Amino acid sequence: MLYSMPLASNGVVQEWRPLGQQGDAENARLLSDVSREIQTNGIIRPKGYNVSWHSNPDIEKHHFGHAHPMKPWRLTLAKGLIMSYGMHTAMDTYVSRQATREELEDFHSADYLEYLKTAKVALPDDDYPKDFNLGGSDCPIFEGLFNYCSMYAGASIDAARKLCNNESDIAINWSGGLHHAKKAEASGFCYVNDIVLAILQLLRKHPRVLYIDIDVHHGDGVEEAFWSTDRVMTLSIHKYDGLNFFPGTGDLERTGPDSEGNPGAHHAINVPLNDGIDDDQYVWLFKTLVGLCVERFQPTAIVLQCGADSLAGDRLGRFNVQVQGHGACVAYCKSLNIPLLLVGGGGYTPRNVARAWAHETSIAIGCDSTLDPIIPIHTPYRTHFRHETIFPTLSEILAGENRPNKNSEKKVREIVASITEQLRFVNRAPSVQSSSIPPDLTAFKDDIEDRLREEREEVDQELRRNKEQGLSGAMEY
């Protein structure tokens, strides 16, 4: 059956049933429509490489709350659009499983996971342990939370394993990409860091992994997890305002540990941007910096976090990047012919999220140049997309809002120059066999613990300074 569709009650997704229950004739018509799209758009399995798509409709059922920006049903929109074109027929599709407790403990602490599993929805906010940052408007406790987390984490872990086993060349998990979660702390709508768990899987085979983050928010959780290793390089391109925009980290000078003797020195690359950056500037910056990182670091696998809140028209983001520009980043990574894991991330205007991830799926399978941008008439919730094309214009998206680009050409080139200089201090990767490098996950865990202590001290110091200066206010997402 092609789709699962929700039945809504008072705006909350409560029950799911197959579209096929509308009747055999209706379902046959839908199958015929999809078959026609496959033919019209030339959708076939890619030649010479495999793409896998990892998803689970149960993830889409969960609900953070009426007013919460994170809407898992955006995955329903994306899946419906992908499948309406018939793109699923060009991929190996897998219903993802829940990650095991042991797998989650590769990164997360046992006491944090236990609390995540047993926390009760009905408790008032003040009763939640402050150490875990759970409860309240940021990371609420909702029904089925642990199942939700373990399912999206399981999808990323399995996708990484497909890459390690050479069963996939590109693996996709649009439900993943929750990059803010820490070892023992929820943060920024993220509870379990599936990206860290996936990278740990990749490191069992791959000597070096390049993590790239195009979410509008700094990928702080992933950066922190691999702060002290030279086997992972993190590159985050994001909006930065240290006092007013979450998470308040990711300035240009944040390059890794200060000590040159620490293997992770210079391996954290941050690209702080202002509002309004457009496709031309963004894509040029992305290709330039990723090209420099690949040339210097020589990764054997790439993880690309495709947060869609960097798109124009997002509920939280303020960039002017369009679906075409966002997709160009995916296309460039694909062109490098390095095993590639694509995960989702932020994105708080569901129709934008669905457009972007459907387009990027078409890039992964190689049919983007032949795909009709007009959304198929049989697409579920088609009216929700507002515009009938995958590529609405910027003026249509912003509906007349004037949003200037606050990133000067001079600023962008200075960023590139600074990072070029930073990369000079990264040792060129030696030519080694993957099998000769042990995973050594214990060392990573020790590094994470040390980094957590340092982070807590830095945050405490920053809060004290802000209070003294009268700057301690609520941070914008």
Instruction: Identify whether the C-beta of residue 160 lies closer than 8 Å to the C-beta of residue 202.
Output: yes
Task: Give the phi and the psi of residue 412 in degrees, each rounded to 5.
Answer: -65, -40
For residue 267, say whether it is annotated as part of any ligand binding site.
Answer: no
- Distance in angstroms (rounded) separating the CA atoms of residues 33 and 38: 9
For residue 275, say whether it is annotated as part of any ligand binding site.
Answer: no
Instruction: Identify whether the C-beta of residue 72 lies closer than 8 Å to the C-beta of residue 348.
Output: no
For residue 387, say whether it is annotated as part of any ligand binding site.
Answer: no
Contacts with 293 (C-beta within 8 Å, 6 or more apart), sequence order? 210, 233, 235, 269, 299, 423
For residue 405, which of 289, 316, 273, 313 has the smallest C-alpha distance? 273
Catalytic residue among 179, 180, 206, 359: 180
For residue 217, say whether it is annotated as part of any ligand binding site.
Answer: yes
Residues in the chain: 477
- Distance in angstroms (rounded) separating the CA atoms of residues 391 and 408: 26
- Distance in angstroms (rounded) separating the CA atoms of residues 193 and 111: 16
| Residue 179: active-site member | no
H helix or E strand, kind and range, residue 118: helix 110-118
For residue 85, which of 378, 366, 354, 363 has the smallest C-alpha distance? 378
- Distance in angstroms (rounded) separating the CA atoms of residues 105 and 405: 43
- Distance in angstroms (rounded) separating the CA atoms of residues 20 and 150: 28
- Distance in angstroms (rounded) separating the CA atoms of residues 322 and 279: 6
- Token pair for 280: 């031309």
H helix or E strand, kind and range, residue 270: strand 268-273
For residue 65, say whether it is annotated as part of any ligand binding site.
Answer: no
Chain center to CA of 217? 10
For residue 188, say whether it is annotated as part of any ligand binding site.
Answer: yes
- Distance in angstroms (rounded) separating the CA atoms of residues 216 and 314: 10
CA dihedral (100, 187, 219, 242) in degrees, to 10, reads -170
Asked if the bond preceding 46 is cis, omega within 30° of 0, the reply is no
Cα separation of the two ends of the chain: 38
Q: Which residues are annotated as a binding site for substrate?
A: 138, 188, 348
Could you list the residues known to form a binding site, using ranges.
Answer: 138, 188, 215, 217, 309, 348
Indicate which residues carry an active-site annotation: 180
Binding residues for a divalent metal cation: 215, 217, 309
